[in-house]
A and B are shown apart, each in its own frame.
Chain A
Amino acid sequence: MPIIERRNSVDFVFSVITAVASGVVVLLILGILIVLIHESWLAINHFGVIRFIISTDWDPVKESFGAATAIFGTFVTTVLALFIAIPIAIGIAIFVTEICPPFLKEPIGIAIELLAAIPSIIYGMWGLFTLAPIMAKYIEPALQHSIGALPVVGILFQGTPMGIDMLTASVILSIMIIPFTASISRDSFNLTPAVVKESAYAIGTTKWEVVKNIVLPYSKLGIYGGITLSLGRALGETMAVAFVLGNNHQITSSLLNAAATITVTLANEFTEADKDLYLSSLFYLAIILFIMSFIVLALAKFFLLKAERKYSR
């Protein structure tokens, strides 16, 4: 059977080629991990793990580096962005699935998803030239006069409003991540069985009660997945915050101060790092970011897979 054998060998070669191509993804992830650890080895040896993470030093002149300021900035901007984005995103999902007329569902859905297609550098440009001045002139003074005058929380709004600060960065980030939570929540809302909703309406529940007591609990996993995915995206966002954060390594209590995130530090300082230890410390930051976002994204995928399994049953 020479013909069939020859055919099989071609098929074998093709299958091997495709297998290698799909293995590239695994190789890339392992490669990033190994290469970044290798490059940051100098800094890992020099500063250790715990000491590097808790140290607030970032002094290129004295060559003393710590990740605490960058991690602080990343953490604050991300959490604040989620705070702003989640209610809006879930509101959008409720509007699209329960309120808006059918002919508007598709266009509004696409419009919200277009927010995710705008490149982050455009968000950065817009943030620097349009949003930052508005924040400095109107919104931040207004916040200072209202919330800033209160005890305890007032500490968040101290200082001169410049527009180049953590608050502005968080607002931009929140706009960028709205589409992720919104579209995934909308898809899970749509999967709520109509029969369950109809039976609730039949016993006289209001629309909001249906959403609150039936749709939201039913699509819990999908919403968690969407939020976690947004978190993962926000952690690694670079250009949108690079313009408006000021890259200032400090830990402050006021949201109206400049700060630095891991991504902004990398974007601003990577090409300027003239000493080996400096560059190695930047690689160290990169590997911390990679591991953090990998874990968060894996968690998001876990939620989404669990949701998928639940709905397909």
Chain B
Amino acid sequence: MNIEQKRKLESIAALVLSTLAAVAGLFWLVFILGDVLVRGIGALTPSLFLNDPTPAGVTGGGLRNAFIGQLMITGFATLIGVPIGILGGTFLAEYARGTRVARSISILSDIMVSVPSIVVGTFIYAVMVKPVGHFNGWAGAAALAVIMIPVVLRTTEDMLSLVPWTLREAAFALGAPYYKVIVQVVYRGAATGILTGILLSIARVAGETAPLLFTSFNNSFMSTDMRGPIASLTASIFQYAMGPYEDWHVQAWGASFVITIFILLITIAGRLIIKWRYK
């Protein structure tokens, strides 16, 4: 075999291996999603959504309390995290644009985005659960908000930076003060992008389990009281999957199905919006 043939063969071998790698990646995606869909769809009974859990070991019951708890925790987390994130991102992209402070905070937020969420859980436990003496829904919402803030902040900063500077100059030239320029011109120009950022940040925290384990904990009863422990889908999945009853496993798959579909739809929608708006 001469050297040309050897080089060609080597090239083909490497490219085949790369293709196999891509196939492997897709294989895992299809395998995991397919498994969740197949096992989950059978568990989607009306009872799962309409009933509260039965005592351990008694078959039947549902996860109504967890669905409502999850909505409340995620909803309040969004209400806390999104305004702070948007305002913070506004500071970095507008008032502090180009300064060293803005760059540092931006880098710190990027790091904060990937900080282990369970560490955030321990932190919130120390400041919001320990002083009160019991687990509470507010602590869960706060923990999720802490994870959300840097995500929203960074996307807002990026989206505001995409608005052309000349647009602001045009508004300045009409005599508008900076805050008016930001609220009425810049926010409008970046609205779709910011909204996408919010959507993606909700998708990011909706599946979080670790920070809820020792903040909002879990609750086998229906509760909407944010001052006490409150059930969440993710914490229920953890409890049910690790539990000994087949009925629990089935319900855990049902809950996994709902949460996976919810998150994937939001993620795909977010990507499509970005693609459609910023092509």
Contact = CB atoms under 8 A, between A and B. Distances in A.
10 contacts: A18-B91, A19-B91, A22-B105, A25-B88, A25-B108, A31-B123, A35-B123, A120-B209, A121-B209, A243-B242
A66 B32 CA distance: 36
B169 interface: no
A266 interface: yes
Interface residues of B, number: 91
B36 to A, nearest CB: 6
Contact of A119 (B88, B150, B206): B206
B111 interface: yes
A270 B125 contact: yes
A110 B237 CA distance: 27
Given A22-B88, A125-B256, A95 B19 contact: yes
Given A110-B271, A263-B118, A125 B179 contact: no
Contact of B237 (A98, A121, A211): A121
Contacts of B118: 236, 238, 263, 266-267, 286, 289
Interface of A is mostly: helix
Interface string A51-94: 00000000000000000000000000000000000011111101
A22 B21 contact: no
Among B10, B112, B206, chain A packs the most CB atoms within 10 A around the CB of B112
A271 B213 contact: yes
A249 B88 CA distance: 42
Contacts of A7: 177
A282 B121 CA distance: 12
A111 interface: yes
Contact of A36 (B26, B31, B110, B122): B122
Q: How large is the interface on A (under 10, 10 to 19, 20 to 34, 35 or more residues)?
A: 35 or more
Interface stretch (A8-16, A143-151, A250-258): A8-16
Nearest to A178: B25
A114 B30 CA distance: 11
Given A95-B22, A130-B35, A112 B29 contact: yes
A122 B259 contact: yes
Max chain B CB contacts within 10 Å: which of A95, A130, A242?
A95
A29 to B, nearest CB: 6
A121 B256 contact: yes
B28 A115 contact: yes
Q: Which of B21, B91, B119 has the most CB of A within 10 A?
A: B119
A268 B45 CA distance: 31
B11 interface: yes
A128 B116 contact: no
